[in-house]
Structure 1
Amino acid sequence: MAVLSYYPWLYPLFATILGLLIGSFLNVVIYRLPIMMERQWRQECQDCFPELDYAQANDTGAPFNLSVPRSRCPHCNHAITALENIPLLSWLVLKGKCRECHAPISKRYPAIELLTAIISLTVALVLPPTWWAVAVVGCSFALIALTFIDIDKMLLPDQITLPLMWAGILLAVIGISPVSLTDAVIGAMAGYLSLWSVFWAFKLLTKKDGMGYGDFKLLAAIGAWVGWSLLPFVVLLSSFVGAICGIIMLRTKGEDQQTPFSFGPYLAVAGWIAILWGQPILHWYVSSYLGF
């Protein structure tokens, strides 16, 4: 990373380009991972109960993962070429339409690419070019994927949350994370147990599930990255923003109060803020209001 000291502009530029490229891949992850998980569940059910038919009508048995098959237009089945898959640029050149059938391409794809680039750039502007910054960029990518999967499917896959948690602990073990190993482990434990306790208290009182187990695991992962001391900040911020957004949805969309909504995105946003600015915010609060 010595070259960055001579050309400091390379660091944010590289982070932005990387964000665009990874953002394109995250679109694939967000769409395909839930389908892959559902197919795996169906196969496991079929193996356990062969007398029942769990196969889907559109499941041909062909390989389906994050690399195959090639991305195609959902309207005309046109295979997307490499030139048509350049992050953000291709969508702009094609004017948001398929080259073959001219059907509109969802604005969400370039939006996620742009969001990922902005988040990567933000990390580069906040953190110096260290291995911790590289790790935070990777964590940001995982949080983006979790956010949109939860919005779409109300699902936080273990395939992302658990590696994210262990990555936070591993970074503490090898000394890259500013969080000590003790704080990271306690943070992971406290993150999981705090929401787990709320879940069971709510269930005992109302006989209803207040949240999913994926939320426990996501907060455990965030706790491993920020330590136990910032968990109250993460929970309070995510709860506050979630409550505000919930009220807005009730007022604008006319949804029923019993309508479930995803809590993972608010945890992800609060966790990301805590990773970048949590300690300065905590120090400001302690010095301003507690006088320490």
Structure 2
Amino acid sequence: MNAMNAMNGYAQLLPVDWLAHWEPHWRFALFAVMGIVAGLGLDVVVRRVPAAIERAWLEEMRAVNAPNPSPLRAPLHQAALPNAALALAAPNAASPAASPAPSLPPSSPPLPDTVRPRRWQLSLLSGVLSVAVAWRFGPTWQSLGALGLVWTLIALAYIDSDTQLLPDVLTLPLLWAGLLCNLGHWFAALPAAVIGAATGYLSLWALYWVYWWLRRREGMGFGDFKLYAALGAWFGWTSLLQILLLACLLAIVIAGSAWLIGRLRSDQMFPFGAFLAAAGIATLFGGNGLMIWIGGTP
């Protein structure tokens, strides 16, 4: 293990034989093409995953509003719905003459037509970061794992920015993928990765309830817990403080600027998961010593 990898918390890089025989410029070109193609797929994911979740949510509401629902099934569905949905699903049950729940729209509303600009924006971002992965990790197995991590974090950041939603269909596989990659200690030792996943989730979970106790309102979503746990699974528990500090710094700068110019109210929620994703990408390239480097300590 060389000094740089030891400082960054990464194990010795494991070469991929067929990639190692390519000249560096050809590897960069390959990763750029892979990133651009992946960006086209990310555009589909960013648009369709939230729409699919919304359709499933509407189906849940329809099931609650169905005539004569099963006595076992109705409470289960109602417990899974937010307060606004419960208001539709069970209107003023105290009144015997309560009117029936309003009918639901037959399908989810169409999303804004932003296909073309987002498609190329995602392709450019994915292509640039994929080349950066090739430069950082070279022709190794770690570079292939890092590609999957970067692409998933890009998708999560965009989805959270659009909908303030971090889908389980992305965060949970990301967590398990981090643990599987670290079976070979690619980015952290496996014990550190397991502890990182548990600590990441429980720390934000505890912070959530402290905030709820103090302010009587939600400070973040449960998807943030799962994303933070996934990053702990990839980089180990020693990286968690760095990731959280970087995410908070980004949030202060960006959300604070939006608040100063009047584009964000002081009581308005903002997508913290996008900042966690950005901090995860920064940690991937800078390693666990990134905050030491920012602070100027050699």
TM-score by length of 1: 0.78
Report the Cα distance in structure 2 between the residues aligned to 1:34 and 1:159, rounded to whole angstroms: 11
Q: Which structure 1 residue ranges, 5 or more long, are not aligned?
A: 61-72, 75-103
The residue aligned with 2:241 is 232
Counterpart among 247, 254, 270 of residue 245 in structure 1: 254
The residue aligned with 1:5 is 21
Report the Cα distance in structure 1 between the residues aligned to 2:215 and 2:268, rounded to whole angstroms: 15
The residue aligned with 1:64 is none
Distance 1:54 1:191, change over 3 A: farther
Q: How far has the Cα of 1:283 moved from its partner? A: 6.4
Counterpart among 240, 260, 279 of residue 270 in structure 1: 279
The 5 Å alignment of 1:16-35 reads 16-35=32-51
The residue aligned with 1:68 is none
Q: How far has the Cα of 1:130 moved from its partner? A: 1.3
Report the Cα distance in structure 2 between the residues aligned to 1:53 and 1:181, rounded to whole angstroms: 52
Report the Cα distance in structure 2 between the residues aligned to 1:144 and 1:238, rounded to whole angstroms: 15
The residue aligned with 1:257 is 266
1:145 and 2:145 correspond: no
| Deviation per residue, 1:12-64 (Å, 9 max, x gap) | 1111001100100110110010110111122233334413676534469xxxx
The residue aligned with 1:164 is 174
Distance 1:46 1:53, change over 3 A: farther
1:199 and 2:208 correspond: yes
Q: How far has the Cα of 1:254 moved from its partner? A: 4.3
The sequence identity of aligned pairs, in percent, is: 34
Report the Cα distance in structure 2 between the residues aligned to 1:7 and 1:123, rounded to whole angstroms: 16
Moved over 4 A (4+): 52-55, 282-287
The residue aligned with 1:56 is 105
* Native 8 Å contact 2:54 2:108 kept in 1: no
* Native 8 Å contact 1:42 1:54 kept in 2: no
Q: Which structure 2 residue ranges, 5 or more long, are not aligned?
A: 1-15, 68-100
1:154 and 2:164 correspond: yes
The residue aligned with 1:186 is 195
| Deviation per residue, 1:131-172 (Å, 9 max, x gap) | 111011001110000000001000000000010001111112
* Native 8 Å contact 2:242 2:288 kept in 1: no
Paired AA for residue 213 in structure 1: F
Number of residue-to-residue matches in the alignment: 248
The residue aligned with 1:86 is none
- Larger relative contact order (Cα-Cα within 8 Å, sequence gap ≥ 6): 2
Report the Cα distance in structure 1 between the residues aligned to 2:203 and 2:166, rounded to whole angstroms: 17
Report the Cα distance in structure 2 between the residues aligned to 1:24 and 1:54, rounded to whole angstroms: 37
The residue aligned with 2:121 is 111
Counterpart among 205, 208, 218 of residue 227 in structure 2: 218
Distance 1:285 1:8, change over 3 A: closer
The residue aligned with 2:6 is none
The 5 Å alignment of 1:36-51 reads 36-51=52-67
TM-score by length of 2: 0.77
* Native 8 Å contact 1:45 1:54 kept in 2: no
Q: Cα RMSD (Å) of the superposition?
A: 2.5
Q: How far has the Cα of 1:2 moved from its partner? A: 3.1
